[in-house]
């Protein structure tokens, strides 16, 4: 596939609780919608607690459910990106009890064993007991599904520096090498790693050039609606984040997450949680979001990314709004291509039609010169490089 189009997936009525409340019929119906939208790839998340409820035990029921998801993907000719060590998701950390220590996290609360607690993860990068548990999870899943033709790639994790920041860049590299090689010992399919906007606008020790050797292709998660130096409807920032990632890491880049929360009314700001903080977040008018998506996809294609996975499949059903994280992270309810009632938003039709428009577009190489000391002042360098990029490209 020259340009991969896809979506990040949680079920509309189950969200992060789908492995506990698994419904094969629901997954088949929603994957059918994804197929009807002309999408190729679905990124899914292996919630750590559900797949490894005890430090030395892999949950067989969850493995069986994952097998069913792969079978459904096979029936519909969809590819999957299963993501390990979830971990961080939608403003909260989802972790098994055995992974917790009695110290508060500086930014995020944790959901564990049915309740929200103010505890952080043990050292997932250096604790030998934890590393042994991680190896068990990786070995079990990759060996179980190594012959599945539906796996597009394995994703090491999702924004895991929001769970815990590694002590040093060297620790981060060593951990990535361990995970990458463990996966590759069982399966030859590509491996990538879900890094995000914070990994290019600050130094959380997962520096892109250090991450790159343990990725077969790089990923980036970027949201113009979350920037504080550009317009939320700026169609250039998301593609630029990929260009910068490629310049730092010297490998091809998939835009693995991008999108925006929408409303059928006028664009407005609301109070909503990001971790422990209550901040102002945009809800963008659906039609404006669709126009932004059309332009953003165009530039993602033209500027050479290998594909784009939208965040997220659906707005979450009202029955989930009193559960974490949606009880406080209001904006997280509304990132979908579908509304909470299952109807399609204008953004869904933009994605559906994009493959027909690709033939009218031309790829072009866009280079930027990144200073060797980029991570000495990452935010300052990011803004400077972006300003220079806009002058050249407009």
Digit-coded pLDDT (tens) for 315-325: 999 999 999 99
Angle between helix axes 60-76 and 24-36 (nearest 10 degrees) is 30
> Distance between CA 302 and CA 321 in Å, rounded?
38
pLDDT of residue 323: 97
* Residues constituting the chain: 394
Q: First CA to last CA across the chain, in angstroms? A: 29
pLDDT of residue 126: 98
pLDDT of residue 381: 98
Q: Residues 316, 340: contact at Cβ < 8 Å? A: yes
Digit-coded pLDDT (tens) for 144-202: 999 899 999 999 999 999 999 999 999 999 999 999 999 999 999 999 999 999 999 99
Task: Quote the pTM value.
Answer: 0.98
Provide the token pair at 159.
Answer: 């924004």
The mean pLDDT value of the chain amounts to: 97
Low-confidence spans in the chain with pLDDT less than 70:
1
């Amino acid at each position: 596939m020259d340009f991969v189009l896809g979506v990040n997936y949680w079920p509309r009525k189950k969200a992060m609780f789908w492995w506990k409340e698994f419904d094969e019929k629901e997954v088949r119906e929603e994957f059918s919608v994804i197929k009807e939208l002309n999408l190729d790839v679905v990124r899914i998340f292996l919630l750590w607690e559900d797949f490894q409820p005890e430090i030395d035990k892999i949950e067989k029921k969850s493995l069986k459910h994952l097998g069913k998801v792969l079978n459904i993907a096979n029936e519909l000719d969809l590819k999957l990106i299963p993501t390990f060590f979830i971990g961080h998701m939608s403003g909260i950390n989802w972790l098994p009890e055995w992974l917790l220590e009695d110290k508060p996290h500086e930014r995020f609360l944790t959901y564990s064993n049915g309740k929200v607690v103010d505890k952080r993860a043990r050292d997932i990068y250096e604790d030998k007991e934890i590393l042994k548990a991680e190896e068990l999870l990786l070995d079990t899943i990759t060996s179980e599904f190594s012959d599945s033709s539906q796996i597009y790639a394995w994703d090491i994790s999702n924004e895991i520096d929001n769970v815990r920041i590694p002590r040093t860049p060297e620790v981060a590299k060593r951990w990535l090498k361990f995970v990458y090689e463990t996966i590759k010992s069982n399966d030859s399919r590509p491996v990538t790693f879900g890094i995000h906007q914070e990994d290019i606008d600050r130094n959380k020790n997962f520096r892109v050039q250090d991450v790159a050797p343990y990725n077969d292709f790089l990923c980036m998660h970027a949201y113009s609606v979350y920037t504080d130096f550009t317009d939320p409807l700026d169609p250039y920032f998301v593609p630029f984040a990929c260009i910068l990632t490629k310049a730092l890491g010297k490998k091809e880049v998939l835009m693995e997450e991008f999108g925006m929360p929408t409303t059928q009314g006028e664009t407005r700001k609301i109070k909503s949680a990001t971790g422990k903080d209550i901040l102002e977040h945009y809800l963008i008018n659906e039609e404006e979001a669709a126009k932004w998506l059309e332009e953003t996809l165009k530039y993602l294609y033209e500027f050479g990314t290998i594909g784009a996975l939208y965040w997220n499949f659906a707005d979450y059903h009202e029955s989930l709004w009193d559960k974490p994280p949606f009880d406080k992270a209001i904006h997280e309810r509304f990132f979908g291509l579908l509304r909470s009632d299952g109807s399609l938003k204008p953004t869904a039709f933009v994605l559906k039609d994009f493959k027909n428009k690709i033939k009218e577009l031309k790829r072009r190489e866009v280079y930027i010169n990144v200073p060797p000391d980029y991570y000495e002042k990452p935010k300052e360098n990011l803004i400077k490089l972006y300003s220079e990029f806009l002058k050249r490209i407009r």
